[in-house]
């Protein structure tokens, strides 16, 4: 049996920001590499899944390193967010920098506020 299947993912805490044109999702993912992160949009449901491997030292001679204490082990994170506004899926931008994930979700044109010109009758 694959031992990973027995590990339940931890719910990933997020901050959500909203403007007229886009929604931004922020999450902390230190130690997660881009290839271990998945962002999926299905209908109005956004799912962020990530795996962090234990950050063992990888320098020369570190292969025989032994742990004195370990607070950062292997971990699986997941979060589902139901979005209230339709999103332009092609415009989604995911940036993982310094262990911080910033997801920019542009609202679909129909969901953006529009100013209607009022003409004098």
Binding stretches for other proteins (CB under 8 A): 13-20, 22-24, 26-33, 54-57, 59, 61-62, 64-72, 98-100, 102
Nearest to other proteins of 56, 89 (CB atom):
56
Instruction: Quote the CA–CA distance of 11 and 48 in Å, as a whole number.
Output: 10
Closest CB to other proteins among 43 and 59?
59
Which is closer to other proteins, CB of 68 or CB of 116? 68
Half-sphere exposure for 86 (CA within 13 Å, toward CB): 7
- Integer Cα distance of 40 and 87 in angstroms: 12
Shortest CB 80 distance to other proteins, Å: 14
Residue 10 CB, nearest approach to other proteins (Å): 13
CA 119 – CA 106 distance, rounded (Å) = 30
Tell the smallest beta-carbon distance from residue 119 to other proteins (Å). Answer: 29
Distance of alpha carbon 37 from alpha carbon 87, whole angstroms? 20
Q: How many CB atoms lie within 10 A of CB 31?
A: 15
User: What count of other Cβ atoms lies within 10 Å of the Cβ of residue 92?
Assistant: 15
Least separation in angstroms between residue 99's CB and other proteins is: 1
Q: Based on CB atoms, which residue is closest to other proteins, 2 or 64?
A: 64
């Amino acid at each position: 049996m694959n031992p990973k299947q027995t590990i339940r993912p931890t719910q990933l805490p997020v901050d959500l920001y909203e403007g007229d044109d886009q929604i931004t999702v922020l999450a902390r993912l230190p130690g997660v590499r881009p290839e271990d992160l998945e962002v999926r949009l299905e209908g109005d449901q956004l799912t962020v899944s990530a795996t962090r491997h234990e950050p063992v030292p990888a320098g020369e001679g570190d292969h025989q390193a032994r742990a004195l204490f370990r607070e950062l082990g292997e971990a699986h994170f997941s979060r589902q967010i139901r979005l209230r506004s339709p999103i332009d899926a092609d415009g989604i931008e995911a940036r993982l920098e310094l262990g911080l994930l910033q997801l920019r979700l542009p609202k679909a044109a129909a969901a953006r506020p529009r100013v209607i010109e009022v003409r004098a009758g």
